Structures are given as structure tokens and as C-alpha cells.
Structure 1
């Protein structure tokens, strides 16, 4: 064993590590606010990013002063500020999640022969932001801009299951479970149990719960902090669905989600 000698390099490395950690937190916070679709409270941000509340207060203060984040008094929440929006408009090099996903969606449909979509959170719903239609005669059309309740579709369940606990509980407390088909979930207890299973397996299904005759299979696209940036799903007519189809779809979707996550994180 050599005796420990503080050469000063360790201090520089530690300080560098702290600087990098602070930068990561800033970027994680900006990505989180960009993905959420509404203002987020101090507590929600802290829980989502696992940041101590005292550290988050300092970070938000700095970003608010420089207008990268804006505090909204009416909701007592935070959202992206004008400075970050101006940067986004000025830079044509920023790649969106949609741009990262589009070629991957082509491959998903080529491998599954089913319609697929990229979904993102819009308030308390999920929105189709990119889609590819199956080449088969019997298909489900996932139309660009379609909105659906989180609890009724596979892509929405993925997003809901991986929300921070406080957000998910808020959603479950406030949502009214409208019945779209005879199979739509109308019990909050049953929904909560299913979301736990989605968290365990990393995949969600919707058995004719929103559209009769269609089974949805979805997986989340998670940030480094574990927040759902969006989800991928395939829509399969029930006449073509079965256990082997499910297993194949989940494997393809999870591999695709990881590819998109890596590309988006490195862009």
C-alpha cells in the first residue's frame, strides 16, 4: 500500500466532477421541462431528477434570472423561458426526438409489418407525433396529431407508468376514466396495478381498450434520469395478434427505443 498523498490533481478532478454534475443537472432540467408539456412544481422537478431541493432552488434561481426558465405565479410552477426558445429558433442543428425516431419507425414497420408510432405527452393525453402505416390490407391508421387518453392506449400507459410517483398519483387522483369500448379500464385500482406491471416488464398493452379490433403494444423512451421522453407502439389487428407476435413486437420496440434514446442524447 502506498501512503495517500494529496497532489492537488485530485482536487482539480473533484472540482471538475462537480462542474460536470452541475452541467448535467442543468441540461436534465431543460430536457424535462421541454418534454412535460405543462408547468412543473419544485417538488415534481426534484423528484423527477433526484436533485436535493436546496440544490434545485439555486439552480432554478440562476436559470430564472437568465430567462432560461420562467416561474408561473398562477400555477406556482416552472416552464421553459424565452431565452431557451430563442436559442432553439436560432439553431438549425438541434435534432428533435421526431427526427431521431423517423428512420427507426420505418424499420419497426418493416420488421413487424404493422403500423407504428412515436408518441409524446401533451398535458394529460398522448399525441402521435410521427407514424408509419402498415403495408398490409387490414391495418390500423395511426394519424399524425391524434390525441388519446394515457390510460386507454399502450403508448400512453408507458408514459404514465414511468412518470415520477407524484405526477402519476396526481393524474390518477384527477382523471375520469371514460369508457371507449367494453374493454376500457374504468377502475383506478386496476389501472394502478397494471401500471406497476408495466414498470416491471417495461412494456404495455391495450387490448381493444380504445379502438375495437386493435391491440396496442408499447414501450417507453426514457431519458438518462428515467423520465419518459415519449413512447413507441405498434397497432395490431386482433386477428393477427398472439403471444409470439407480442414477444416479437416488444423485443423490436425495446431495441428501437434504446437506439432513439442514444441518438437523441448524443445530438
Structure 2
């Protein structure tokens, strides 16, 4: 017990100190740099760093000499009540959006190396294309995955790409070319592009942003065009609807 009368957990304090330090070091830190910043010896930090790496809260650089914060904290945050709050906010808007646009829609999240469909609503009427909740999709070949990766810091994006588990049919892209595409997508603000997995579909994907401008989710429409006499909303109109909905979800999530 300390002087304030509160019980202390020194080992937990050391672990949290390391996590908080690495959260502000986008390029990672060496073991010596961590020790110097925290005023401890490398031996004091060794076991704690080893445990954090083993539990996947911290990752090593490819060379093995630097330590970086993983995305596991983000995954835990999404799995706990904040994720439920996201769905509580998003799902009524998604249901209304599906009816208004006459298209299917889904919400995708990053979960421990996977892009997972957290919620989905099918289009009304006879014609639809939709993904089921719980489906795992690619990061390289889907609008949702590309948007989630694009709207991150460069360091977080690199970790996402490194940690991603390829799905069936997905090919890993050249990092240099992909980063240029994702940078352009971020400037544009959304992805509106032909599907890279099926013909006849245009993926319309918008990020749901946190206060720092990073994507916590991707709201996506697998748009299919009617070519008969029925006049459904066109791709430009649907793009506007989805952009408005994604911004509204973000506004409510961030309490604006």
C-alpha cells in the first residue's frame, strides 16, 4: 500500500508504462530506448516486454531490435461495450439506408488480423448482393479492407498489412504500389471502384472516423445497377447517401 492508502501493483504499472510509451512512438523503440525513457534498466523491462510480446500487445520489428504497439488494444476495445455501442448507433441508420438506397450494406471492422463483417442488411426487393455477418474478407481486394487500411496512420497501416491473414482468393499486393493507392483513396475520402472479387458490382466504401481521423469501421455498399425500366437510385446518389450515413455514425460515436 502506498502513502495515499491505495494498493499498488508494481508489475502492472511497469507493463502499462511500456504500453503508454510505445503508443506515442510510431516507429517503435529499442529495448535500451525504452529503459532510458522509463528510467529503468533493460533487465527490469526484459520480462515485461517478453510477456507483452507473447500476449501480442507488443510486436517486434522484422529485424527484431525494435518494439511496437500492436492493434490488440483496438481489437479489445471493439469487442467490449464500445463495439456494441457502435452497432447500436450504426444498425438503425444502416437499416434505413438500405431501404432508401435500395441496396445492401454492411459494416466491417478490423479484428486481430482479419476484416470481419460486424453487421449487414440486405437490399429490399428481389435483387440483392450481400455479405453475412461474421464473414471474413480481404484487406487487399475489398473496398472495406482498403478503406480501413487507408484511413490509419502510416505506422498503423503497415502493422495492419503485416498482421493481416489472407483469405481464399486474395493475393498480397506490392506494398509500395498499394500505399500509393491507399494514400490517393484517403485524399478522395472514400472508395468507389469495381469489385475485385465479383463482376457487375461497384464497391462504395466510406470510413467511420474517430476524433483523430482514423477509421474504426467501414460502411460499404456492394452496388448493383438495375438496367430494366425500374428507376432505382444511381451510383452517384447511393454514394452520397452512404457518405452521409458514415459521417452520421461517426458524429454519434464521437459525441459531437
TM-score, normalised to structure 2, is 0.63
- Structure 1 residue runs of 5 or longer lacking an equivalent are 1-39, 59-70
Shift in Å at residue 99 of structure 1?
0.6
Q: How does 1:55-134 map to 2 (within 5 A)?
A: 72-74=52-54, 75=56, 77=58, 96-134=85-123
Note the C-alpha offset of 1:174.
Answer: 6.8
CA drift of 1:171 comes to 4.1
For the 8 Å contact 2:137–2:167, the answer to whether it is kept is: no
Please give the residue correspondences for 1:140-155 in structure 2 after superposition, counting only pairs within 5 Å.
140-155=129-144
Distance 1:235 1:76 in 2: 34
1:95 CA drift (Å): 5.4
Contact 1:202/1:219 (<8 A) preserved: yes
Q: Which runs of 5+ in 2 are unaligned?
A: 1-18, 27-32, 39-50, 59-68, 228-232
SS at match of 2:184: helix
* CA distance 1:255–1:235, change in 2 (3 Å): same
1:196 aligns with 2:176: no
Residues 95 and 264 in structure 1, CA contact (< 8 A), matched pair in contact too? no
C-alpha change, 1:146 and 1:179, in structure 2 (3 Å) is closer
What do you get for the CA RMSD once the two structures are aligned? 3.6
Deviation at 1:176, TM superposition (A): 8.4
In the alignment, structure 1 residue 226 sits paired with structure 2 residue 226: no
Residues 193, 238 of structure 1: CA spacing in aligned structure 2 closer, same or farther, 3 A cutoff?
farther
Cα distance in 1, alignment partners of residues 185 and 167 from structure 2: 21
Match of 1:158 among 138, 147, 150: 147
Please state how far the C-alpha of 1:76 moved relative to its aligned partner: 5.6
Distance change >3 Å, CA 165–CA 97, structure 1 → 2: same
Pairing 1:255–2:235 present:
no
Say which structure is richer in helix. 1
Aligned to 1:212: 199
Matched position secondary structure for 1:152: coil
What is the CA–CA distance in structure 2 between the aligned matches of 1:187 and 1:73, rounded to whole Å? 27
Q: Tell me the distance in 1 between the aligned counterparts of 2:120 and 2:57.
A: 35
